[in-house]
Amino acid sequence: MREIALDTETTGLDASSGHRIIEVCCIEMENHVRTGKVFHTLIHPERDIPEESIRIHGITLDKVAEAPLFAAIVDELLAFIGDSTLVIHNAEFDIKFLNAEFTRCGKPLLPLSRAIDTIAIAKRRFPGSRYSLDELCRRFSIDLSARTKHSALIDTDLLTEVYLELVGGRQARLELAPGDGVADLAQNVVRIARPRPIPLEDRLDAGEREAHARFLAAELKGDIVWNWPSPEALAPAAKAN
């Protein structure tokens, strides 16, 4: 199962008002394990970067002066993500920005259904809590020391850690899967029934017991397994023969 953790940094909060992507990062996972393959680039937004956005991510026009335009990296980005599921924190935000860029480039749009939103998972697991990436990292004791500002590269790295904690990917080998040594051991566990400290009251009256005895005698001709002699009872007879 191939999944791509993805994050972007942008010039602002609203793609429909002309704000653009200035950084994108993707990290590949196979079966909830990072493969080491990463796609990351800064992008020239072809517009100014407001000061309030720079305070969040620290990316100025000077830093992206030599960066490629989105149109120059779009094919490489699409090839990297392929048809894999996208893991995104606040998926609607990033998908809107990506689709605005894809529209400018004449590329097919990404459906929101392609994405797993880690905020949605966190809301189900921890209702009433805070769901920012910082808060989830603190909840799972994930090191945040490198995150002095927002960065698609750093945030995607943290996102993979948070996602694996949310879905239990770190404990995958503890699942009792067929062929797993732990599963085989579990199947061989013998559970010993303990007698009740106080026996249950007899629920049959004398008439019911008599009717049951008549049924056994008539239908089974008295050949009833619990009336067979035990091996211990048969042992003396066997020795005599």
- CATH number, domain with residue 156: 3.30.420.10
230/176: higher pLDDT: 230
Q: Is residue 228 included in any domain, yes or no?
A: no
Does residue 173 carry a pLDDT above 70? no
Residue 9 is assigned to a structural domain of this protein = yes
Domain that holds residue 133: 2-174
The pLDDT of residue 17: 95
pTM over 0.85: no
Q: Which residue is catalytic, options 19, 57, 89, 150?
A: 150
Tokens of 224: 């009833």
User: What is residue 228's predicted lDDT score, i.e. its pLDDT?
Assistant: 62
Rounded Cα distance, 107 and 110, in Å: 9
Give the number of other CB atoms < 10 A from CB of residue 1: 8
Residue 215, domain member (yes or no): no
Confidence class for position 208, pLDDT limits 50, 70, 90: confident
For residue 3, pLDDT over 80 is answered with yes
Q: Is 150 in the active site?
A: yes
Whether 183 is in a domain gets the answer no
At residue 185, the pLDDT reads 34
Report yes or no on 205 lying in a domain. no
* pLDDT (mean) for 171-189: 41
Question: d(Cα 102, Cα 95) in Å, to the nearest integer?
Answer: 10
Which position has the token pair 């209702």?
A: 127
Give the mean model confidence (pLDDT) for residues 203-216: 78
Q: Cβ of 52: how many Cβ atoms within 10 Å?
A: 9
Mean pLDDT of 162-174: 73
Decide if pLDDT at 6 tops 70.
yes
Burial (CB count <10 Å: 0-12, 13-18, 19+), residue 99 = middle
- Count of structural domains within the chain: 1
How does the average pLDDT of the chain come out, rounded?
84
Query: In angstroms, rounded to a whole number, what is the distance separating the alpha carbons of residues 96 and 227?
Result: 77
pLDDT for 54-74, tens place per residue?
999 999 999 999 999 999 999
Average pLDDT of the segment spanning 136-150:
87
**In the structure encoding, which two tokens stand for residue 211, read together?**
């009717």
CA atoms within 13 A on the CB side of 163: 28
